[in-house]
Amino acid sequence: MDFTLPDEHRMIQEVVRDFCEAELEPIAQDIEDEHRFPEEIFEELADLDLMGVPVPEEYGGAGGDYLMYAVVAEELGRVSGSVGLSYVAHTSLGLMPIVKFGTEEQKEKWARPLAEGEGMGSWALTEPSSGSDASDMDTMAEKDGDEYVINGTKQFITNATVANSVLVKAVTEPGAGYDGISTFIVDPENDDGFEVSTVWDKMGLNASPTCEIQLDDVRVPEERLLGEEGEGWNQTKKTLDGGRISIAALSTGLGVGAFEAARQYATEREQFGSPISKFDAVRDMVVSMDRKIERARLLTHKAATMYDNGEDVTRISSLAKLDASEICREIAEDAVQVHGGYGYTTDFAPQRFYRDAKLMEIGEGTSEIQHLVLGRELGL
């Protein structure tokens, strides 16, 4: 537990930790094996008023701040990377842009149900050919009367099969580059032409659906344009500032889960008449895990606090995401090593953390892209 947190944040941390240990931990490996999105877990998170933590109460949220949200994300990641990933994608990507950029009518109709946990949110930016150059976009939205007609393909979209709304990025002014991209609220249940064409089998995080979606003449009314035409890319950059904090928090949680498993095993497993924690090589690995976690958490909490204070967080959120994502993979790998042969089996959690951790270095901007962002922020 982080006892430097304000009392309210610490109370939420304890509530989420108790819930995860009682309800989520017993099924964490099962839902991965079954590739099953655990709807019941998200219903219980909604009952705990946790599906809209950083959303103002007037729009159905808990009225918390981003630091509180980061605490929740870490606790979920400590037990299940899949649940944590779907949770942060719902909050940072599917919900918060509506709160930040939407009209009052959009907030009431689309943000409130997500914040209250009556539905899941999703965000569709990446395309099959775009990769890290997310602005290289082929999806088009053409104005037709009082509607927009959207055509295109989106790739690696979290929560698409379970979403009640998807924020789709599309080009509204060809040739205008960044200034020609806009954001639309798409209703996957009721908008004809929206189809989930693929649900990917992945190296990890298989209880969180990752999808390819097809948009074939999807008609959305103009009142579902988020903000103004051409504001989509600026919205994306602001969204990713917050999204990277959530990935940093999730990564820290994954690291904590792997560390705790390694520490427990090292103190219980005996070889040559002693717990393996007494051997320098094992002890030093576990000590290094603890050091890395503290560093990642401090960076993440600093980024979240600056975000809550309205400061520019492009540099610090990128730094937190880069550091936390890389350390969680390092910690998970060492946790497998501490367990030896058992670490390679699904009877022990480190293999799951190891597989889940790798995405943290890819999603919401690869480590290489974070170096690019940080270089720009440093004037390099």
Return the active site residues.
364
Q: Given CA atoms 46, 223, 85, 256 in this order, what sign does their dihedral have? A: negative
Burial class (CB in 10 A: 0-12, 13-18, 19+), 351: buried
Residue 181: name the closest of 254, 125, 249, 106 by CA.
125
Asked whether 115 and 52 are in contact (CB, 8 A), the reply is yes
Q: Mapped to the 3 state alphabet, what secondary structure does 64-133 carry?
A: CCHHHHHHHHHHHHHHCHHHHHHHHHHHHHHHHHHHHHCCHHHHHHHHHHHHCCCCEEEEECCCCCCCCC
Give me the residues paired with residue 165 across strands: 121
CB 307 within 8 A of CB 242: yes
